[in-house]
Amino acid sequence: MADDAPREIEALIDLMARLPGLGPRSARRAVLTLLKKRGQLMAPLAQAMANVALTARDCVVCGNIGTSDRCAICTDDRRATGEICVVENVADLWAMERAGAFKGRYHVLGGTLSALDGIGPDELRIPALTRRIADEGITEVILALNATVDGQTTAHYIADSLSGSGTSITSLAQGVPIGGELDYLDDGTIGAALRARKRF
C-alpha cells in the first residue's frame, strides 16, 4: 500500500504493520497517533523499545526473557527448586505468573513439536529440560502446555521421554478448556487447573 507520507514515516508504518493485530491501515493510524504525541508518547516508546531490544535476553536456564543471563525467577531464592512448570512460550509463563498459583521454576520450550513445520525436540528446549531434571533434583514436572493438538502431542512426548527419570509428571487439570490457550484464560481458571493437576 502506497502511503504518501514522508519516506521515514512510511518506513515506520511498514515496520509497525508487522506487529500482530496491526494491518497496514491500523499501523498508519497508530503512527498518526504517535506523530500527534511525539513528545509524550513517540519518543518515550522509541526509548523503551530500544532499551528492551538492548537489554532483553533469554535466560540460559529456563528460556524466560529477562535482563541478564539468568532470569528473575531462576535467581529468586524464595521459589521452590524441586518443581518445574513447562510452558510453550513466555506469554504462557506470564499468564501462569499472573495467576500467582505456582511458586516453583519454569522451563520455556519455545514452541511445540510440529511435524508439519519440521519442529522436533532439538528445535525446542527439550534436551535442556532433560538435563535440568537430572542436574537440579527435580521431583515434579508440571506440563502446562496448551490444550491444542500440538501442545498435547508435545506433552506426551515429554512425559514419555521422562518416564524413566523417577520424576513425577503432572499436567494442568481439565479446567483448561479443549482447544484453549493459556494466555486467553482468566487467572482463576488457571489457578484452579493448577491446584487440581493430575498425574500425567
Report the interface residues with its own copies, using CB under 8 A: 2-6, 8-9, 11-12, 15-16, 18-22, 26, 28-35, 38, 41-56, 65-67, 72, 89-91, 93-94, 97-98, 183
| Residue keyed to cell 502431542 | 153
Distance CA 118, CA 169 (A): 26
User: Which helix or strand (DSSP H or E) is residue 45 part of?
Assistant: helix 43-55
CB of 72: closest distance to its own copies in angstroms? 6
Residues in Cβ contact with 198 at an 8 Å cutoff, skipping those fewer than 6 apart: 170, 171, 173
71 binds Zn ion (CB under 5 A): yes
CB of 152: closest distance to its own copies in angstroms? 22
Q: Which entry of its own copies, Zn ion, none binds 62, CB below 5 to 8 A by partner kind?
A: Zn ion
Q: Which entry of its own copies, Zn ion, none binds 81, CB below 5 to 8 A by partner kind?
A: none
Strands 65-66 and 57-58, bridge-based pairing = antiparallel
Q: Which entry of Zn ion, its own copies, none binds 149, CB below 5 to 8 A by partner kind?
A: none
Measured CA to CA in angstroms, residue 67 lies from 37, 59, 64 at distances of 29, 8, 10
62 binds Zn ion (CB under 5 A): yes
In the list 13, 31, 74, 133, the residue contacting Zn ion (rule: CB under 5 A) is: 74
Largest CA-CA distance found in the chain, in angstroms, rounded? 64
Q: Where along the sequence are the contacts to Zn ion (CB under 5 A)?
A: 59, 61-62, 64, 71, 74
